[in-house]
Structure 1
């Protein structure tokens, strides 16, 4: 039997398609449990991403802090009127990573745990006569006009190949229905520190001229900076919007290192598995937070839950175990996703509402609850009166009872 035939007949416990934070985490967790894991990812491709990670991720996933290229100490929210609201982080920080290095480190950790890795592009999902999944991949070899293909058998398949997952579309019902925002950013050389640019501050632009339904961002990454925006509106000129944003902050002359764009899902899929032997994780499962677009943390948490579900499936043979990944994730984080979805629907729909939203961000209760929830990845339950105050202020803004600076208007009784 030749080498290719031997490979084609080999059956892995798990084949993970996609080597981003979700796929690399699943591969690491399952290889660490002694399972035969193959991690297949494309040639190094970097997803457009602001690169923010909370302390909870660093702690829960044992991330080497040498990967942090910046520690953000505050955020600045910019309204359509150009009014700016500073939101300092008390007793904490937001870590910033470069996805090029961060993803590579996660993949290397998976290999160190025992996962095998190959670089290739997923093509097809089929089944052998005995029902075992068989995946076909293509790899472009130097000097060859046509890509070489190979196939792999697996007891279980994890699709971690991003939004609009090719694995999901072929193997999981409903995976092609995911709603997405298209994101685009440019990585540039960071300018010198000025009043307009602070290397320890993230600037977030809530302006219709930058995005009609999302936001624009300037996220410092040490020597580099990510400048980007996103929208679900088809045909909207994201490159032009980023050009306007760069001109607004005087960064049009900064050297552009690379440009990247990709769809980002805004709602978890209703189903992550096929009820048999395939399960999705990360962007493929739709776990990017609405309103904020945060994806790294939720991708890795979903991957951990998928890893647990796959391990239970391999041990028991019961395909129902795969569905526990989504149930556990939504039990832990579904409420946050629902709250953020409402926030986006209410406050991002017009410049008038965006102006009010930025006004709300001036409130100290809002700032404290926001940062505590972000850094610890839990809605803050131990401050009921702060939540109540925020609720009434939100209602005042929605009913037009507060002015553009967050003050309650006096109404005449006559």
Structure 2
């Protein structure tokens, strides 16, 4: 028998979180196996803020479109436009190409990138983790690791293996269709704008989340999400395509997956396994934004694992969640409250869209989104928003 291969780290999952963790650890000089299940693309609007592009050195070639505004559509079909001031924009990526590029970058940094499906996590005679996976040819392979990073999505198999008592976290099931963008303006698709993200807050399309039409250059993502069981997501997207005048364009692919809406209370097993990305629950409530938080979570996981490999102290693994929540926990808390209150019915959605028309709200929203920091430098604007919000809560103003 050949001796079992050994790595410092096995990263399960090659999405933005796993690929970033693998790349950073390989740069540290660690031996890394990046294990990715081939052929799976997560349904995603593909929006990335400028901070992500800067912090993770994303080349312009991966930015397939630049959205310079958003249009919010109320249950009554009333629209509110939210332009981005100055030269700012939201980058749009196609996850099919974006994730592949991240995996290739990890491989170029020295990670051993393999296609395979995670099967189980066991321990050998030395009491270290052993990862067993199935290759695309159907062979079962086991490798030894000092640490394992589970970045394998909301339905994480690593969580089931290493965290048998893990709490169940809320999620929405997202579904989108990638279509060919209209090449020439026609009366039926006149509402489509290749530099604008359209967000629909309409209960008939999603009773507890939102629906979207996001431009991707030559293509567009049309999707919706909900936690309500039994709702036909395909039917909702069919209706959305008709509403947006995109029912006649070519459909290129369809994808669906669960999206978590709350960070897990624990990301490490206190021993040698750490979670990142959707497996850790780092998708923002209300907005469903996950790419930036996944990549940041992957980077923090790499830092924590690197510290653990040096010190041997398993407490270092807990630093990943601690650092993430210190920076973004308050934002997640606020967004969770916002979703639970404003998304509950169409009457509140109508008022929420009205609030989105306020210039103070728009400016602070874009600044916070693009820089991934709560804006504190304009207290008067925050005070104005507070009183306007109260007015809508108590219906002192019309929607």
Q: Same fold (TM over 0.5)?
A: yes
Structure 2: gaps spanning 5 or more residues: none
> Partner of 1:107 in structure 2?
103
Is the contact made by 2:190 and 2:245 (CA closer than 8 Å) also made in structure 1? no
Matches within 5 A, 1:163-178: 163-175=154-166, 177-178=168-169
Matches within 5 A, 1:3-402: 5-6=2-3, 9-91=4-86, 92-141=88-137, 147-175=138-166, 177-191=168-182, 192-193=184-185, 195-402=190-397
Structure 1: gaps spanning 5 or more residues: 142-146, 405-414
Whole-Å separation in 2 of the counterparts to 1:170 and 1:235 = 29
Whole-Å separation in 1 of the counterparts to 2:278 and 2:79 = 32
Residue 65 of structure 1, CA deviation: 1.4
Whole-Å separation in 2 of the counterparts to 1:166 and 1:370 = 36
| Stretch deviating more after TM superposition (174-183 or 111-120) | 174-183
Whole-Å separation in 1 of the counterparts to 2:207 and 2:43 = 19
Residue 55 of structure 1, CA deviation: 0.1
Q: Secondary structure at the match of 1:268?
A: coil
Computed over aligned residues only, the root mean square deviation of the Cα atoms, in angstroms, reads 0.9
Is the contact made by 2:167 and 2:264 (CA closer than 8 Å) also made in structure 1? no
Is the contact made by 1:40 and 1:119 (CA closer than 8 Å) also made in structure 2? yes
Residue 176 of structure 1, CA deviation: 5.4
Whole-Å separation in 2 of the counterparts to 1:73 and 1:174 = 44
Residue 11 of structure 1, CA deviation: 1.6
Whole-Å separation in 2 of the counterparts to 1:169 and 1:313 = 23
Q: Secondary structure at the match of 1:386?
A: helix
Structure possessing the higher radius of gyration over alpha carbons: 1
For normalisation by structure 1, the TM-score amounts to 0.94
Is the contact made by 1:174 and 1:271 (CA closer than 8 Å) also made in structure 2? no
Q: Secondary structure at the match of 1:343?
A: helix
Superimposed CA distance per residue, residues 343-391 of structure 1 (whole angstroms, 9 cap, x where no aligned partner): 1011100000000000001100000000000000001000111011001
> Partner of 1:408 in structure 2?
none
Is the contact made by 1:172 and 1:272 (CA closer than 8 Å) also made in structure 2? no
Change over 3 Å in CA distance of 1:184–1:207 after alignment to 2: same
Q: Secondary structure at the match of 2:254?
A: strand
For normalisation by structure 2, the TM-score amounts to 0.97
Whole-Å separation in 2 of the counterparts to 1:72 and 1:126 = 46
Whole-Å separation in 1 of the counterparts to 2:136 and 2:305 = 31
Residue 140 of structure 1, CA deviation: 3.2
